[in-house]
Amino acid sequence: MNLATVISLRLLQAIPTLLGVVTLVFFLLHLVPGDPVDALLGEMALAADREAMRHALHLDMPILQQYAHYLYGLISADWGISIIDQRDVLTRILERLPATAELAAVSLVLAVCLALPLGYWAARHAGKIQDTAAMSFSLLGVSIPNFWLGPMLMLVFSVALGWLPVSGMGQPGSLVLPAVTLGTALAAMLSRMARSSWLEAMSMDSIRTARAFGVSERAIWWRHAARIAAIPVITMFALQLGAVLGGAVITETVFDWPGLGLLTIEAIQRRDYPLVQGCVLIIAVFYVLANLLADILGLLLDARQR
């Protein structure tokens, strides 16, 4: 299967996936208690003003008609208007996306810098105390949730030591704590994958052949085995690109980071239906693109798949 065929098939598969996400989010939002008109006008507003606002926002239509109206807007590149500030939804998302992209990029780089040495160290000393220590640290990283780790880091490095800002963006070092919080879990998963992939690669016939020809252990580990072990690690890394955006929702809320995740939470709290649907759609698109990237990398790195 060539690259163009994979991309075409994945893009076709993405259409029902994204449609399912849009449909699920639309109907779940309308089941959540609360009225966006109350968030805008307050509960003491006049009935006439409330009805006029509901008509302006198309909330007086039947639910299926609202759904059809929303789908038509997506097809025509009209993502709607934010209920709260009457601004274009796509414009608001694009304003917040760079902050999330910056946080995600730094978190991913940090994860790779931690995961590869840790995975190599564990694989090189498999079954020994070094392996146990490395995997215990990895298990700790997977087990600790972001909503607990973030406040603990703030208490230590911001409140107690005063080294880093508590929250927000723009101050020196403000990116450190959110990136560590978001990148720790990813580093833990990647390190475990790197360890198992390296050990599996070292047991292959090609590695035994290289040893028989007198190739040094350093070259075997870093030139031959690393090339084989990289395939599942890179594939998992690509898949985690989408998960980073999902994890950013919690991390950005904890650290008041002005990105897409915080915007999603704010929109949910204010019952801003169009904005919530737009934010979730963007996250879903990134998940689909991350899966597509994983398939492409798998084809490029592994000749057996081609």
- The predicted structure's pLDDT at residue 40: 65
CATH assignment of the domain containing 120: 1.10.3720.10
**Which of 75, 103, 124 corresponds to the end of one domain?**
75
Please check whether residue 7 lies inside any domain of the structure.
yes
Give the SS3 label for residue 222: helix
Q: Is residue 83 part of a domain?
A: no
Burial of residue 126 (number of CB atoms within 10 Å: 0-12, 13-18, 19+): middle
46 shares a domain with 186: no
Residue 306 included in any domain: no
Residue pLDDT tens, the chain, 306 long: 666 777 777 778 878 888 888 888 888 877 777 666 766 666 676 777 677 777 776 777 788 888 888 888 888 877 778 877 778 888 889 998 898 888 888 988 888 888 888 888 888 888 888 888 888 888 887 788 888 888 898 888 888 888 888 877 777 788 888 988 888 888 888 888 888 888 888 888 777 787 777 777 777 887 777 777 777 888 778 777 777 777 778 888 888 888 888 888 888 887 788 888 888 888 888 888 887 777 777 777 666 655
Residue 39, Cβ density class (10 Å: 0-12 exposed, 13-18 middle, ≥19 buried):
middle
CB atoms within 10 A of CB 68: 12
Q: Quick one: 118 and 46 in the same domain?
A: no
Whether 209 maps to a domain, the answer reads yes
51 and 101 fall within a common domain: no
Determine, yes or no, domain membership for 82.
no
What pLDDT, on the 0 to 100 scale, is given for residue 43? 66
User: Number of structural domains, the chain?
Assistant: 2
The torsion angles phi and psi of 142, rounded to 5 degrees, stand at -70, -35
Q: Which helix (H) or strand (E) holds 285?
A: helix 273-301
pLDDT of residue 304: 62
Asked whether residue 101 falls in the same domain as residue 50, the answer is no
For residues 128 and 51, membership in a common domain is answered with no
Structural domain boundaries, residue 42: 3-75
Q: For position 35, what pLDDT does the model report?
A: 67
Domain membership flag for residue 117: yes
Residues 38 and 174 both lie in one domain: no
Query: Are 48 and 99 contained in the same domain?
Result: no
In a domain, 20, yes or no: yes
Same domain for 177 and 232, yes or no, is yes
255 close to 177: Cβ distance less than 8 angstroms: yes
176, 216: one domain: yes
Instruction: Note whether 108 and 242 are same-domain residues.
Output: yes
Same domain, 185 and 67: no
Residue from 198, 79, 217 nearest 135 by CA: 198
| pLDDT score of 305 | 59
Residues 138 and 259 grouped into a single domain: yes
Are residues 167 and 255 in contact, defined by beta-carbon separation less than 8 angstroms?
yes
The answer to the question of residue 90 being in a domain is no
pLDDT for 2? 67
| Cβ–Cβ under 8 Å, residues 21 and 288 | no
